[in-house]
Structure 1
Amino acid sequence: MSGSIKRFSFGRHPVVIDFGSSAEHTGSSVLVHVGQSVVLATCHVHPPSFQSRPPGLVISFVERSYARGQISDYSQIQQAELNNADRSRLLEFQSMLNDTLPDNHELRIELNLLVFSRDPQVEPIFAGVIAASCALGITSTPQADPIVLARLAKINGVFCTNPSNSAIEKSQCDLWIYGSSSQTSQVRGSANELDESELICAIEFGQREIRRASNSIKEWIIEHSTTNTHFTKTVETPLKRKIAALAKTSLMKIFQEVEKKDLLSKLSNLQKAVEIAICINEIDESRKNIIAVYFCKCVQEILREHYLKIASSSYVHETTRLHTRKVKAHLFPRAHGSASYTVGDHCAIALTTLGRDRSSLNGQYVEEKKSFDVHIHSFADDTGAGCQSPTRALYAGRWVADTLRSVVPKLDIFPYVIQVDVEQVGMHSSSPDEILCAAMLSMLDAGVPLFSVVGAVVVGVICSPSQLIPLIDPDDLEKASCNVVATVAGTMTGIAGIDLRSKTLLTREILQDLLSQAKQARFSLIALMEESIGTPKELSKFAPRVQILKISSRKTGQLVGRGGSVVKAICQQTYSNVEVFPDGTVRVSASNDDSLQNAIIAIQKTLKPLKPGQVFEGVVSGIQENGLLINLSPGRDGFLPREQLLDAHLPVREQFKIGGCIRVVCESVNHNGQGQLSVKALHHESAGNSRY
């Protein structure tokens, strides 16, 4: 069916869209290729009369081992576990698609995405988003333009879309942008101190690429859409107008109060009054839920109207000031690093743990990119209030880790695995900006030599045709009323990360206003953080000690010894851990400074060439009739003949025992590299020196 195929380029990869199946009762099936990644999307829409489950959008994203060209164990064939990055992106994707659907529709939409092939250079989520947009489009009447995901990078000073995974390592930024031809929904990613003006150029470039791809997908949907599924509205327009009429005056009075004490309680009481006014005693749960949805929308609209009215007053300046922060460090004696970050009733406590590269943190070798991670935990009361879902905690933790990674030293500079655990102990879940600041402070307390201090703030913008109203630290109600909400993180030099949600097309004016406010607030916050904790502290006495040594690659065999005998001896004698790599890198780690230094000295002795005249404090490792075997250093022995002892006439076994210490001098080295030792020569030398 060549007529059903749509081809276009999206950044650096070709895109092919085609029908995935012609079988009956399979729903709308679309197969999409992006590079060598191939994803099949199947969409099923169940009308209310045929539903056995609640309405809504449900997405499954499955990738099996064959997609990577691997054979899995039989016990794992039925498993389709996604890694943390894919699960986090799936959460983002589902949120984006939900925003394109009508409010309170009564249909259950099941969207199944199956990865048939995974290009190692192209994430399958790009093909998955296009396939999902196509499947939804041909299943039902499109309610919005198709959603597209683009990855943006700046390589060698040039912006590019959807670069390969290997190329992204050289990029100054890594931005993931969701959008369509009519709006930008999300901008999320990290950067290496990107200037605000450069970030604006990057987003504008991404919007142009997304608009072009979205229009190409829309053309294919219009050409092949054969059904006309209607989304049934559950709320009548008259009801919405009635709710607004009942609540508007009271809402304006509430928002005009400068002190917003008990705001949520007042809104809850007003909502109950509206419910009673509409339904009196005939209210049921479904009706109550409908009223709650439209009351919430009414609150958002009135709050927007309120801020637009006061835009010229002095009060609006209060919205561009940071809320009070409380910062504390070194909270717990045995933690390698700890800090708390409190804003209002939100409190995040971060604890940093340092480990060796082959670390007790996870018991396995850790790659450079995985040597730093952030884990967010939640603490809820009996009712579950304030509990952050595991998926959202994963989402936030990944963004925080990606943002901070640019200021965390590499393993060759600071040879530790760094794990930050964040506990949320306030009344409500902490936001990503608060979690990031807590993590930053705890790493400084742990002695991590960060390149710069990173601060993060939340900025919202309320847009109208003639006004832009910025809000710093907006609360949940204010966020819902904003057209754009962004968490912006960065240093005093530039932007390190951004997480932006938008309900409109991002213009240069909106971005300039938002980033300008974020920059001022960020500078104030960084000054507060630096004043609170200052420079990185010394390593905790409970943290392991690690040091990297460099030796000639030709000497690695000498240090390792036959069957690892030499390096094992060093580890046992010094209570340390020594890892030797083929390139000559030696990683030495121990639980304290003394053991670390003893291990380093032992390595230096082992590698130092044996020469006549060298004096050693040796240990008796063997006793023979004609002499002693002396261990000079781990893996290196010498022979002390009987005639070179001071009391050569006495039996050797009567003079020495295994494990005894003895001071010797090397007289010569035989062809096997073994030292010929003497005590007499050392004694005569000492006696000779005493005459002068």
Structure 2
Amino acid sequence: MQEKIFKTEYAGRKLTVKTGHLAAQANSSCTVQYGDTVILATTVMSKDARDGVSFFPLMVEYEEKMYAAGRIKGSRFIKREARPTDEAILVARMIDRGLRPLFNEAIRCDIQVILTVLSIDGENDPDVPAIIAASIALHISDIPWNGPLVGVRVGQINGEWVLNPTNAAREKSTLDIAFSASADKVIMVEAAANEVDEKTAYEAFAFGLKHAKPMIKFIEDIRKEVGKEKMKLELTEVECPENLDDNQKVNAEEIAKLQEECKAKAIEKLNEFLFNIPKGSKRARKDTLHQVYDMLEEYLLEKQVGKERRKKVMEFFEPFIDEQITTAILERDQRVDGRKLNQIRPLEANVGLLPRTHGTGLFDRGETQVLSVVTLGAPGDEQTLDGMETSGKKRYMHHYNFPPYSVGEASPMRGTGRREIGHGALAEKALVPVLPDKDKFPYTIRVVSEVLGSNGSSSMASTCGSTLALMDAGVPITKPVAGIAMGMASNEKGDYKILTDIQDLEDGKGGMDFKIAGTCDGITAIQMDTKTLGISLEIIEKTLAQGKDARLEILDVITKAIPAPRAELSQYAPRIEILHINPEKIRDVIGPGGKMINKIIDETGVNIDIEQDGSVFITATEPAGMKKAVEWIQSLTKEAVVGDTYEGTVVKIMDFGAFVEIFPGTDGMVHVSEITDKERVSDVNKYLKVGQVIKVKVMKIDDQGRINLSMKKV
């Protein structure tokens, strides 16, 4: 292996690519260094095609390594990296969604792309360099691929566009748009924003795409120098049918002729059934297609076509159905359910369905139905983050569940998959900009969206359901948020039409899934995938505009169901009291080894969370327990005020005076001269005894916190 080094400037920072020095057994490998963030990308393709699979077996893995950040995992028992964090899964999905459309979907060889984070500087997010690394590794490999692409991130600070903002700059940005792009098209989008308008979002894409072009040329130049010749793959195997001799091959012309005959018969049935049941269900359309498929199988059997040849002939079916649906949209503005191109399916929104939960929302859009449920918890219920990049606490969580019955299937229910994590994160991101600040609403908030029925964009239905549930729970969100999935029908000639609210058969080849969430005032989240080689700025602009109309229509339905967040929390939700104490008193509340705080919790049934600034959050479900805990903590942390009078207990007598405990753990001294003004005190014991309760007045508190008390001034 001969090491080659390539350098360029990207967003004002040096980007270095090295090839030929690591992972020699892979089909290709490279490292990309951006700042001090270093990514290793490797690609491998199996020699043989996988038998019996009807999909393209691409695997994209993104591996976070704790050593990259100079950290050791926080768990006391497990120090090795285990399953990927949610953040790693989301980055893997981002990379996958950009790469996948650029492969021929007829490939049946296993292809695996692994991105390993070797070093991270905390300044440059590794997702963009990881996208670039994956693109370079595939482009210089012998694996067939229609790249390259480049990763781009765009921010906006004080009205100025920023290319690939640092992590610190992203905190100040009004939007955060990351996308994969070719020289002139956008392939994948993952965006969060603080209610930006459609024009601003469009301009962000235009700005990023302009800066993608030089990087595409940079990658092409790398391929010219070190790239391998692409392999020629047999994308369709020719097998021997049962009714032919083993040495005979399937006659390609005969296959093509049979396919044309089947297409003619299929068109008759599709026109008769599929497009004539405009209000039919997903199941009805699925049954229709099964009937057409079975009819064609019977036709081929009548013609004595063998099993293997029948299988080969019927390979045309799914692409043909996609083509017919696309043609109907492009030529006749005809959708399978009879809707107009910009029409949303029937909408319904309901709240308050469950008696004991803290807030519920049920959202229906056509056959897509999502039940979202809110649970409010104590500040201590926040999720602890312990990843390569992330640490700290997470206050708002959205979890998305997609059971098999939601699509009418029976299958094993395993752990949470990548798709569920991705959809949950999208709905979570959409609502973060409208959540109340912690100082106004200190609760930990968990929303769970249960997909009860799925036929098109359950993630955007989860966003709508979450809005309903949060408002029903009394969470004071600033505005409702709604989401819509936009689609597209297009052909190889470049004709296209934008679709509002796509469903089942409308997500085929030549399409896109462009999800947009936001309030009445602007966009809060975007996610886009495509089954094309990318979409133009013109398509993005039209989709954003058409999506806004749909979003406003959905928001109208939501606000009719519940116009504003409820003024009161559910009677079953916990209540939180906030006390502000002197930070130096925190130790008094906690006690040695946590003895005091645990005693309060055990005896009152509350949860107590204390922050370093002296904020004490007391969470309780019972008013009596709350009252007792508040009074207890107040007594532990009460501070003396000069001029105030208190009732205290004598705890120690000295020759020069007595020490009096005015609060638990707080003593002051009564000097002999302050015991009485009737006579000079020579023996303190004649006036005071240990355990005696007396009234004293605070005369002075010195710089060291020592309290001077007086009995005679009371």
Report the TM-score when normalising by structure 2: 0.80
Name 1:544's counterpart in structure 2: 574
CA contact (8 A) 2:205 2:537 kept: no
1:170 to 169, 172, 197: 172
* CA contact 1:145–1:214 (8 Å) conserved in 2: no
Structure 1 partner of 2:679: none
> Could you say if the C-alpha distance between residues 448 and 286 of structure 1 is closer, same or farther in structure 2, counting changes exceeding 3 Å?
farther
Counterpart residue type for residue 32 of structure 2:
V
Query: Residue 681 of structure 2 aligns with which residue?
Result: none
Residue 380 (str. 1) matches residue 404 (str. 2): yes
Deviation at 1:142, TM superposition (A): 4.7
Quickly say closer, same or farther: Cα 1:436–1:240, change in 2 above 3 A: farther
Q: Distance in 2 between matches of 1:244 and 1:517?
A: 34
Q: Aligned pairs, how many?
A: 657
Deviations 1:627-649 (A, max 9, x none): x99976554478999x99xxxxx
CA positional deviation for 1:179: 2.0
1:145-544 to 2 correspondences below 5 Å: 145-234=147-236, 238=256, 244-257=263-276, 258-261=278-281, 262-278=284-300, 284=307, 288=311, 294-311=316-333, 318-359=340-381, 370-381=394-405, 383-384=410-411, 390-426=417-453, 431-463=458-490, 468-480=496-508, 483-502=511-530, 503=532, 505-537=534-566, 538-544=568-574
What is the CA deviation profile of residues 457-499 of structure 1, one whole-angstrom value per residue up to 9, with x for unaligned ones? 1222334668653322221211226533311111111111111
Larger relative helix fraction: 1
TM-score (norm 1): 0.82
Instruction: Verify the 8 A CA contact 1:106 1:231 in the aligned structure 2.
Output: no
Higher mean displacement: 212-221 or 272-281: 272-281
Q: Is the 8 A contact 2:131 2:180 kept in 1?
A: no
Is the CA contact 1:61–1:113 (under 8 Å) kept in the aligned structure 2?
Answer: yes
Do the aligned partners of residues 297 and 52 (structure 1) sit closer, same or farther apart at CA in structure 2, a change above 3 Å counting? closer
Secondary structure (helix, strand or coil) at the match of 2:548 reads: helix
Distance across 1 between alignment mates of 2:518 and 2:50: 51
Q: Which moved more, 1:225-234 or 1:460-469?
A: 460-469
Which runs of 5 or more structure 2 residues have no equivalent in the other structure? 238-251, 677-690
**Would the aligned equivalents of 2:669 and 2:707 in 1 still touch at CA under 8 Å?**
no
Q: Residue 425 of structure 1 aligns to a residue in which SS?
A: strand
- Cα distance change, pair 37–675 in 1 and its aligned pair in 2 (3 A): same
Alpha carbons 1:415, 1:547 under 8 Å: kept: no
Query: Is the CA contact 2:378–2:607 (under 8 Å) kept in the aligned structure 1?
Result: no
Provide Cα deviations, 1:591-648, integer angstroms capped at 9, x if missing partner: 34555456556666644535666466x8x89899xxx99976554478999x99xxxx
Partners of 1:341 and 1:457 lie apart in 2 by 13
> Are the counterparts in 2 of residues 330 and 445 from structure 1 also a CA contact under 8 Å?
yes
**Matched-pair contact (CA < 8 Å) for 2:457–2:503:** no
**Superposition deviation, residue 325 in structure 1:** 2.1
Question: Per the alignment, do residues 585 and 10 of structure 1 end up closer, same or farther by CA in structure 2, a change over 3 Å counting?
Answer: same
Equivalent pair of 2:460/2:517 in contact (CA under 8 Å): yes
For the structure 1 residues 431 and 243, does the alpha-carbon distance in structure 2 shift closer, same or farther, using more than 3 Å as the test?
A: farther
The more displaced of 560-569 and 376-385 is 560-569
Deviation at 1:254, TM superposition (A): 3.6
Q: Is the 8 A contact 2:37 2:126 kept in 1?
A: yes
Inter-partner Cα distance in structure 2 for 1:509 and 1:429: 24
Gaps spanning 5+ residues in structure 1: where?
A: 645-657, 683-692
Q: Distance in 1 between matches of 2:356 and 2:496?
A: 49
Distance 1:50 1:337 in 2: 48
> What is the CA–CA distance in structure 2 between the aligned matches of 1:519 and 1:454, rounded to whole Å?
12
Look up the equivalent residue of 1:341 and give its one-letter code: F
**Structure 1: how far apart are the matches of 2:42 and 2:385?**
41
Rounded Cα–Cα distance in structure 1 between residues aligned with 2:296 and 2:574:
62
Structure 1 window deviating more from structure 2 (71-80 vs 56-65): it is: 71-80
Distance 1:312 1:272 in 2: 25
2:707 maps to 1:673: yes
**How far is 1:188 from its partner?**
1.8
- Which residue in the other structure is 1:42 paired with? 42
Superimposed CA distance per residue, residues 380-427 of structure 1 (whole angstroms, 9 cap, x where no aligned partner): 357229999611000011111112111111212211111111222236
Q: Aligned partners of 2:604, 2:661: CA distance in 1, in Å?
A: 15
Contact 1:63 1:80 in 2 (8 A): no
> How far off is 1:259 after superposition?
3.5
Verify the 8 A CA contact 2:183 2:212 in the aligned structure 1: yes
Seen in structure 2, the aligned counterparts of structure 1 residues 321 and 59 have a Cα distance that, compared at 3 Å, is closer
* Alignment check: 8 A CA contact 1:20 1:31 kept: no
Deviation at 1:327, TM superposition (A): 1.9
Partner SS, residue 224 of structure 2: helix
> What RMSD, in angstroms, separates the aligned Cα atoms of the two structures?
4.3
